[in-house]
Structure 1
Amino acid sequence: MRDQAEALRLKMMKEEGTAARSIAVISGKGGVGKTNFTTNFASSLLAQGKSVIIVDMDIGMGNVHILLGASAPYGLKEYLTGDRTLEEVITVSPDGLSFISGGSGLETVLEWTDGRFERLIQAFEALQQQFDYILFDMGAGASESAIELIVAVDEIIVIATSEPTSITDAYSMMKFICLRDPEKKFFIVNNRVQPKEDGNEAVTRLQFAMRKFLNKETALLGTLPEDSAVHKSVVAQQPFTKLYPNAPISRRMNAIAANYISSGTDIDSKEGSTFLGQLKKIFARGRG
């Protein structure tokens, strides 16, 4: 029955022609504004006519719901255990952004039961039909549990600042991922750029290192300035793109979202999307 149901779903996806783009938003270290970027990037995508959902994968430290001013009584854990349906764990913020909270007990897909992984695949199949973009807000660093999912997604957005430690950690993170999947596509965002600072200089050095040592090209998606609107919006628990639409950082974020939308077409849905195919391979290796 499962094989027949899956074949039907994949047939429907192929007839529709495309599947959602899955994106992991990562950083080499904490404190660079990764989650704030994710929520506002999603808000900009939504404002530009795209349907988007955030999946909070910062296990134990997830705060997407706080930044969006929403209460999330249930999360991914409750869905995987079968206690709640997918619809019950999707929360919609007051500004209309959909998200799924994480939770404890999601340490690694390699330790999940067959039943939980089956439900995970079913959820992502459904989300790929409902949304244009699935954003995974990952925890900082390169834990094995994070890498399992990051390697599976279609594309990666790396958030860094111009600080040397942030650039070094971002490079280490991308190098680690490249060793697992040399074909993975990276976008870089330089966040919290100070006044009179060349926001592209640090990224240029990072791109040079990736090209020289890993033979890997990376794309600069954009830069975001240091802006008081960020702190004010965090206190207000609203995206700054909604609360301060004319602020310099909001205009930059909207440009980044537009740049990303135009960076490529929707992911081809062959074999149930590259994302789902990669997840199944990871789980199969863990079971082997």
Structure 2
Amino acid sequence: MGNQAEKLRLKMENKRISTSIGVISGKGGVGKSNFSTNFSFNLAEKGYEIVIVDMDIGMGNIHILLGEKSRYSLIDYLSGEYILEDVIESFLSNIDYLSGGSAMAKVIEWNDSMFDRLLSAFELLQQRYDYIIFDMGAGATEWSLQLLEALDDIIVISTTEPTAVMDAYSMMKYVNTRNPLKNMHIVCNRALTTDEANQTLHRLKSTAQQFLNKNLNILGSIPEDIHVRKAVQQQKLFSILYERAPATKAVQKITTTYTSGQSKNLNELDTNRFINALKSIFSKGRG
């Protein structure tokens, strides 16, 4: 515990302007959490400090994909039983994570103490890390939409299946209705061919442009790859276990595409934007 606390203290000494990213999908089973973890690993490989927050309510699996055992969850912190340093788990030297836990649904029943502790946690996280990756549960809830409304970027994961595409579009529509200015990126996962992936991505992009007046950023696609399934079975990241696998190379390319578009002027950014947005949004539901 002492080493973890020291690690967090050292991170606090370096003032950062973090980028908060929500990874979402319209339905389960499209590889969203696999993307979140491997995308995070590739960001870390570029030298960034990363924290993954598992927001898959009641069905969190980030720690399983990482091959880790999570002692505590975010709900343990929100309930006041533990401090933030207790629930932040270390995966690699520059990747930490927070488990959502099976009791996460209780957070929907807000009380002032939980609200304040949540804001305090996110405020500390944005000072300690370069990127906060929120791995969201599939589908839309009032809680998840409120959080997504405050984040910097949204990455939407879909497969080429018509139902996945339709559900991905529905999620984008939900988010766009609440905040038309939100940055949204799209990734096609488990594509059998490059043409199939491109058709799916451009279909989503053109549909969003036509019906939502929304410009989506295409990050790329990830092919169907047996190495992904093998890595999950071994509870390892495919980006670590199979460095030359097609899926690994695809996520590397997607990560580079994403970071190359991040041109932040530190003098112009509001370091408290994320927290202020959360305060404004969540305060609407407090009596």
What's the TM-score, normalizing by structure 1? 0.90
Q: Deviations over 1:261-288 (max 9, x none)?
A: 1111348685543221121012210014
CA distance in 2, matches of 1:188, 1:63: 22
1:254 aligns to 2:252 (yes or no): yes
CA contact 2:17–2:127 (8 Å) conserved in 1: yes
Alignment of 1:26-65 (within 5 A): 26-65=24-63
Which secondary structure does the structure 2 equivalent of 1:19 belong to? Answer: coil
Letter in 1 for 2:143: S
Distance 1:217 1:55 in 2: 27
Match of 2:4 in 1: none
What CA distance in whole angstroms lies between the structure 1 residues aligned with 2:236 and 2:92? 9
Structure 1 CA distance, aligned partners of 2:105 and 2:48? 31
Percentage identity across aligned positions? Answer: 47
The correspondence for 1:118, drawn from 116, 119, 139, is 116
Cα deviation for residue 173 of structure 1 reads 0.7
Provide the residue aligned with 2:179 in structure 1.
181
Alignment partner for residue 236 of structure 2, among 235, 238, 251?
A: 238
- SS across alignment from 2:104: coil
1:281 counterpart residue number = 280
Secondary structure in structure 2 of the residue aligned to 1:107 = helix
CA–CA separation in structure 1 for the residues paired with 2:176 and 2:205? 14
How many Å separate the matches in 1 of 2:63 and 2:94? 12
1:115-264 → structure 2 map (5 Å cutoff): 115-195=113-193, 197-264=195-262
- Unpaired runs of 5+ residues, structure 1, are 1-11
Inter-partner Cα distance in structure 2 for 1:196 and 1:248? 12
Provide the rounded CA distance (Å) in 2 between the counterparts of 1:233 and 1:46. Answer: 19
Aligned counterparts of 1:66 and 1:33: Cα–Cα separation in 2: 14
Match of 2:105, SS?
coil
Shifted more, 196-205 versus 133-142: the winner is: 196-205
Structure 1 Cα separation of the partners of residues 54 and 236 of structure 2: 17
Secondary structure of 2:119's counterpart equals helix
Q: Which 10-residue stretch deviates more, 44-53 or 194-203?
A: 194-203
1:224-259 CA distances to partner (integer Å, 9 max, x unpaired)?
A: 000011011001111100000111111111111111
Partner-residue secondary structure (3-state), 1:188: strand
Query: CA contact under 8 A between 2:75 and 2:107: conserved in structure 1?
Result: no
Alignment-derived partner of residue 65 in structure 2: 67
- The change in CA–CA distance for 1:186 and 1:196 in structure 2 (over 3 A counts) is closer
Using a 3 Å threshold, how does the CA distance of structure 1 residues 237 and 42 change in structure 2: closer, same or farther?
A: same
> Would you say how many aligned residue pairs link Structure 1 and Structure 2?
275
Give 1:160's aligned amino acid: S
Normalization by structure 2: what TM-score?
0.90
Q: CA deviation at 1:108?
A: 7.1
